[in-house]
Structure 1
Amino acid sequence: MFWSRKSVKSDNAKATAASGSAQPTDGGATGPRLISTNKGLVAHNLGKSFKKRPVLKDVSVSVQRGEAVGLLGPNGAGKTTSFYIITGLIAADRGTISLDGRDITMMPMYQRARMGIGYLPQEASIFRGMTVEQNIMAVLEVVEDDRLKREQSLEDLLAEFAIEHLRRTPALALSGGERRRCEIARALAAHPNFVLLDEPL
């Protein structure tokens, strides 16, 4: 799922998404079509192979600020690989990625993160040796210098995800749903413009 503070088409995954919903598609006779815009997060004709085995073919994505877009497809369709490429975790064999009209295809992951692209992986990413409060504050201390603003942001996030009562609970003691809410809150603590959520629920 792509989330932003403001459509997906894949010939390989046979999935398309727009404003929160997705329906199967074969891409049409002329291949995937992309919304004509230079704003937002745009990936165009991404392709990737592993050991000569095609995993992605002509995947195009356009996400504007304020949209929540879902990407649907069966296991092995390439959804996670698409996220890896867009966030810069792995490189595409072909295709381009741009953010607000700026080409970021060759940028490393940390630079994309600084530009406002966040990512929440499918696997557990919480710091298990810390409490819920410490997990979120670990990110806030990196992005916010003002102590009072950090504390207010922490309170806001705890309240937004209904985990105030868990603030001093060790991460190891959380249920699956509680852990996921903590991870999403921590991802938003970095104030990203776009967040890619892999299996968010």
Structure 2
Amino acid sequence: MPILSVCNLVKKYNKKPVTNDVSFQINPGEIVGLLGPNGAGKTTAFYLTVGLIRPDSGKIIFKNVDVTKKTMDHRARLGIGYLAQEPTIFKELTVQDNLICILEIIYKARKQQSHLLNTLVDDLQLGSCLHKKAGTLSGGERRRLEIACVLALNPSVLLLDEPFANVDPLVIQNVKYLIKILAGRGIGILITDHNAKELLSIADRCYLIIDGKIFFEGSSSQMISNPMVKQHYLGDSFSY
């Protein structure tokens, strides 16, 4: 049973559809990729799912609740986590204080805050930089802190925008490892990224958007071997 269903989303700009009847699903513990060339409607479809923009028609269903008209903060409280491409941390605060800021909003009991702080620090391997200012962190440390901040909200679904962008190969491998761990805990994960190679190497299923429509749906191996996908997106020499 899908935990998140995107149903027939349409978004038009100047009467031109950017997404045209786009539908996809995410199951608990599943890693789903959302791919597409520049200008194909992939980013718009992702932002519609996040709640950054509103669709002209269609629905977004989360745990059998229609969240199409819900704000991003309301969706977050319901359990939809979002990791933006741009940095979302307070650079002048320490790693610990960044996490405490979120935990104090969500949880009133100090004991619970402390327990969850320790859990996040251990899970994301942030102990060595706990008292560093966030603005001084390395790319890998910053990405782990950003993920920890999202996990502090206890999401059931995690929407990741370009998690492999602007970081070195070692950080990418670490992020992929964390994503697999989170999926193993039952969190449904949607990833959009221009790095098709890394995304296809980790996704259970992928959707390809071209000209505002779902062009292909299937496993990574099915996508790579599909002649039409090669022709319109990956090219003949693509491998991962």
Q: TM-score range with shorter-chain normalisation?
A: 0.7 to 0.9
Q: Secondary structure at the match of 2:132?
A: coil
1:62 and 2:62 are equivalent in the alignment: no
Distance across 1 between alignment mates of 2:51 and 2:125: 31
- Matching residue within 73, 86, 93 for 1:110: 73
Deviations 1:58-114 (A, max 9, x none): 221211222222222233333332232122221011211111222222222222222
Bigger proportion of residues as helix? 2
Percent identity at matched positions? 46
Residue type of the partner of 1:69? V
Give runs of aligned pairs for residues 68-79 of structure 1, distance below 5 A. 68-79=31-42
Distance across 1 between alignment mates of 2:157 and 2:33: 13
TM-score (ref. length: structure 1): 0.75
Provide structure 1 residue ranges, at least 5 long, that are not aligned to the other structure. 1-36
Distance across 1 between alignment mates of 2:65 and 2:120: 31
Deviations 1:158-197 (A, max 9, x none): 1111121011111111122211110001000011111101
Residue type of the partner of 1:70? G
How many residues get paired? Answer: 164
Distance across 2 between alignment mates of 1:134 and 1:158: 12
- Matching residue within 69, 82, 92 for 2:55: 92
Distance across 1 between alignment mates of 2:62 and 2:155: 13
Residue type of the partner of 1:86? T
Q: Secondary structure at the match of 1:106?
A: coil
Residue number in structure 2 paired with 1:155 = 118
Q: Secondary structure at the match of 1:71?
A: strand
Change (3 A) 1:61 1:135: same
Residue type of the partner of 1:58? D
Q: Which moved more, 1:44-53 or 1:185-194?
A: 44-53
1:191 and 2:169 are equivalent in the alignment: no
Residue type of the partner of 2:125? A
TM-score (ref. length: structure 2): 0.64
Distance across 1 between alignment mates of 2:43 and 2:87: 14
Residue type of the partner of 1:179? R
- In the TM superposition, what is the alpha-carbon distance from 1:44 to its structure 2 partner? 0.8
Change (3 A) 1:127 1:80: farther
- In the TM superposition, what is the alpha-carbon distance from 1:135 to its structure 2 partner? 0.9
- Matching residue within 108, 130, 154 for 1:145: 108
1:40 and 2:10 are equivalent in the alignment: no
Q: Secondary structure at the match of 1:45?
A: strand
1:172 and 2:166 are equivalent in the alignment: no
Provide structure 2 residue ranges, at least 5 long, that are not aligned to the other structure. 165-240
Distance across 1 between alignment mates of 2:70 and 2:140: 33
Distance across 2 between alignment mates of 1:86 and 1:162: 30
Output the aligned Cα RMSD.
1.6
Distance across 2 between alignment mates of 1:103 and 1:171: 36
